[in-house]
Amino acid sequence: MGKIIAIANQKGGVGKTTTCVNLAASMAATKRKVLVIDLDPQGNATMGSNIDKYEVAHTAYDLLIDELPLDQVIEKETSGGFHLVAANSDVTAAEVKLMTFLSRETRLRSALAPYKDAYDYIFIDCPPSLNMLTVNAMTAADSVLVPMQCEYYALEGLTALLDTITKIASVINADLKIEGILRTMYDPRNRLSSDVSDQLKKHFGNKVYRTIIPRNIRLAEAPSFGSPVIYYDKYSTGAKAYLALAGEMLRREEQLQDEKELSC
């Protein structure tokens, strides 16, 4: 059975979309079947996958509002080797229309349920706010991956996000948990970065990934070429970091499976 991971942080500019696209491409490079769902009306994950958001026939709107089957709305020819449900400004209208529906929080979960086994990983790129689209993502997800910069305000945003996850778990999705906390745009020369990183490890332990995503110009350049960084410059520190993150996640998954088998 596939795993659905929402990539979320209500604070913008923390590397959320960068993480979604590059982690998906890294997983696909390991021969995993991967789907990316772009729920951000800005459509950055769509453009970063070399899909023109202005030319797509279908978007997440069609999945959530018109209830088209997933296999009718996916884009298969992306630069990252994964399938994609695209987004553009239409997704803003989807958020408004969702408010008029019954069971509005579970529309995405219902849409993905028949297809979950078709993918090893489904990554959902959430908008940088805690709106109905983000709630849909977290209701559909098994877990939430939180990219964050190691700075003071990021810690405040993390607290609000954790509160939201707890509320959704208590009301709609009892199985929802934190997949991991990813330190992004990390600059080891910055004392504050080190201090915040230490606080994260102290409070969240092994939920904080060992892999750290550094500040890297290649990571910043790659989206303008419609390419994940592993195909734009596979020797860059950014590419190596996301490949390392994929490896760390796969090892964690194998360890959990081994532990389950031993307990049976």
Average pLDDT over residues 202-222: 94
Tens-digit pLDDT profile for residues 171-211: 999 999 999 999 999 988 888 888 889 888 988 999 999 99
166: pLDDT strictly greater than 80: yes
DSSP state letters, 185-239: EE-TT-HHHHHHHHHHHHHHGGGEEEEEEE--HHHHHGGGGT--HHHH-TTSHHH
The pTM assigned to this predicted structure is 0.95
Cβ atoms < 10 Å from Cβ of 263: 6
pLDDT of residue 246: 98
pLDDT of residue 158: 84
Average pLDDT over residues 143-163: 86
pLDDT of residue 257: 84
pLDDT of residue 53: 96
pLDDT bracket for residue 91 (50, 70, 90): very high
